[in-house]
Structure 1
């Protein structure tokens, strides 16, 4: 009787277990494939017609008598070399695919998670003047076409679609409106923006501004819908007040800080050249786009960010500083 009782109990468990499994599988199938996965499409509220964005062009502080009012444009191309990967040397060095989304690069052609100062210094570059610095940001994708090329499917985590190539890339250094700038140290790491802004509960670190090429006096933190013929633009400005000690810091926030609205650097920091990266894209009207992001960030445009490692030689950086401090407009 003991064995018969145990067999009966086992049979009942199997029946109940099978029913529970079937119920779970049925619920999963009813929810569709990859139930619980985030959509590749940003929420509708993350988009805005640029004509509905109020005018409000950025007003630079008036230059004082000690200002460094120059500018330096660095020609690094438009990423024609197809340098992409899912790494982030600045935030997660040594970790392959640590970004969980795809970055596009200009400048240093070797940059990946395993790069170090020596490998960056020895690499080739896309910059015409020989600047080996690395400049990179998350790719922008069009969602009406599947991605079939390398790096269009390797990121995973809901980052899908055809990568939009940049039709324009501007790398520019500017001075400070109230002070001369000092050279950046070689191999300085820098970042701007907040890759987790969607869940951060604060926009304090949101820096990127989106716009349309025909409306330079309007910018937004949402995806802009541009008129036909206009380019979608992204502008990312980096912090430019250095603590004078470190080339990196935990979270990459404390060794480089942003100046106040009037251009004055926080106490204990020194103004260095301000890096601005401006990107342009040809997006046909009505085509949905999405920024690569962490899955929980829902491709929010507020999560736009960029990274930079200064690999200029001391002589190259000195020329940048001299141009800015002398108030000239230079190109390299």
Structure 2
């Protein structure tokens, strides 16, 4: 499969950096410091990884995770960034919900939940990784996708947000824009690839997206130049979140009308509303040194920690509620009666 090919071809010639690493779960909580800073609780549940300085309010003028965190759930010891997405739930025929657990990717066995993170200079299949990139500055943050997308046309505005129905842990194709419609033997992989061109000025923007964009040709894979409005090329950040669906793959549990039963924590049952959040927190110039190195995945310039250390870093949930980990719940957290409200990016 693709990843095995990447590993083999990486041995052929030196390349500039592409790194891939695991991050254990930090916390699953109803907080959203970018879109709803200070709100406890936020409108819907998120699963968060990275530095343990994660709080309800993380304004860029006062918050630097690299300085405030004392541990990180990520393999690189200098990465105190925070990364988060909406969790996935299974909706039973009787209308109750249970949270679908996350599992580690191949090579990160033993990691508790979380996800896999990539930083790369060129597309994943470009083994040379020739493009030079500038690491993000302290305070930088961004969002990709929209939780209000309800149609394929709306989802197509974010072409690099997809799903893979895993037949085994090496499956990477095909990718879809909507949730898989059949059981996936090895789970559902959610793929999120962030834009790679920055305006060079703003650490954030009102919608958390206007300060970043894809190359002028529209996609990262095209390797086109950045547009004049966003001239600074930055690494592509990519998330792979793998949901372990084996407990829910029996079709006898699925809706009788043949529809698929998975739903995001904010109520989307199509998958079109896939979205993710990123808050930069690498220590000093650690990320820039890695990106300037000639390395592939296992970079000597990247200090790492053990999976045991990753798993030992966590924070307590600030919102006390049943999130459907061990019991079935009647409603999605925050999505019932007076608390129900749509997340908005104020675009």
Q: Would you say same fold, with TM above 0.5?
A: yes
What's the offset of the Cα at 1:270?
A: 1.2
Q: Per-residue CA shift, 1:14-41, capped at 9, x if unaligned?
A: xxxxxxxxxxxxxxxxxxxxxxxxxxxx
- Cα 1:272–1:224 shift into 2, 3 Å: same
Q: Which residue of 1 aligns with 2:132?
A: 180
How many Å separate the matches in 1 of 2:163 and 2:201?
A: 33
Q: Which residue of 2 aligns with 1:63?
A: none
Q: Which residue of 2 aligns with 1:112?
A: 55
- Cα 1:309–1:91 shift into 2, 3 Å: same
Equivalent pairs, count:
247
Q: Which residue of 2 aligns with 1:88?
A: 32
Deviates more, 1:169-178 or 1:129-138: 169-178
Q: Which residue of 2 aligns with 1:224?
A: 180
SS at 2:150 equivalent: helix
SS at 1:115 equivalent: coil
Q: Which residue of 2 aligns with 1:49?
A: none
What's the offset of the Cα at 1:246?
A: 1.1
Indicate which of 17, 38, 57 corresponds to 1:70: 17
Tell whether the 8 Å contact from 2:16 to 2:291 is kept in structure 1 after alignment: no
Query: Are 2:70 and 1:102 aligned?
Result: no
What's the offset of the Cα at 1:69?
A: 5.1
What's the offset of the Cα at 1:272?
A: 0.7
Indicate which of 278, 281, 288 corresponds to 1:311: 281
Indicate which of 166, 175, 180 corresponds to 2:102: 166
Q: Which residue of 1 aligns with 2:205?
A: 249
- Cα 1:241–1:220 shift into 2, 3 Å: same
Unpaired segments of 5 or more residues in structure 2?
1-13, 105-114, 123-128, 255-260, 305-347
What's the offset of the Cα at 1:118?
A: 3.6
Q: Which residue of 1 aligns with 2:144?
A: 192
What's the offset of the Cα at 1:73?
A: 1.8
Tell whether the 8 Å contact from 1:172 to 1:275 is kept in structure 2 after alignment: yes
Counting only pairs closer than 5 Å after superposition, residues 129-140 of structure 1 correspond to structure 2 as 129-130=76-77, 131-140=79-88
Please say which structure displays the higher CA radius of gyration: 1
- Cα 1:222–1:195 shift into 2, 3 Å: same
Q: Which residue of 1 aligns with 2:245?
A: 283
Deviates more, 1:180-189 or 1:226-235: 226-235
How many Å separate the matches in 2 of 1:179 and 1:68?
A: 10
Q: Per-residue CA shift, 1:61-97, capped at 9, x if unaligned?
A: xxxxxx97531123322x1x5x022221122222333
Tell whether the 8 Å contact from 1:194 to 1:207 is kept in structure 2 after alignment: no
What's the offset of the Cα at 1:119?
A: 6.4
Q: Which residue of 1 aligns with 2:290?
A: 320
Tell whether the 8 Å contact from 2:163 to 2:177 is kept in structure 1 after alignment: yes
How many Å separate the matches in 2 of 1:145 and 1:164?
A: 16
SS at 2:207 equivalent: helix
- Cα 1:290–1:238 shift into 2, 3 Å: same
Q: Which residue of 1 aligns with 2:317?
A: none
Query: Are 2:228 and 1:267 aligned?
Result: yes
Deviates more, 1:88-97 or 1:109-118: 109-118
How many Å separate the matches in 2 of 1:299 and 1:266?
A: 35
Q: Give the aligned CA root-mean-square deviation in angstroms.
A: 2.9
What's the offset of the Cα at 1:145?
A: 9.3
Tell whether the 8 Å contact from 2:48 to 2:84 is kept in structure 1 after alignment: yes
Q: Which residue of 2 aligns with 1:144?
A: 92
What's the offset of the Cα at 1:230?
A: 2.1
Indicate which of 179, 190, 204 corresponds to 2:157: 204
- Cα 1:308–1:90 shift into 2, 3 Å: same
- Cα 1:93–1:199 shift into 2, 3 Å: farther
- Cα 1:255–1:71 shift into 2, 3 Å: same
**Greater fraction helix:** 1
Tell whether the 8 Å contact from 1:207 to 1:305 is kept in structure 2 after alignment: no
How many Å separate the matches in 1 of 2:240 and 2:196?
A: 17
Indicate which of 188, 196, 203 corresponds to 1:240: 196
TM-score normalised by structure 2 residue count:
0.64
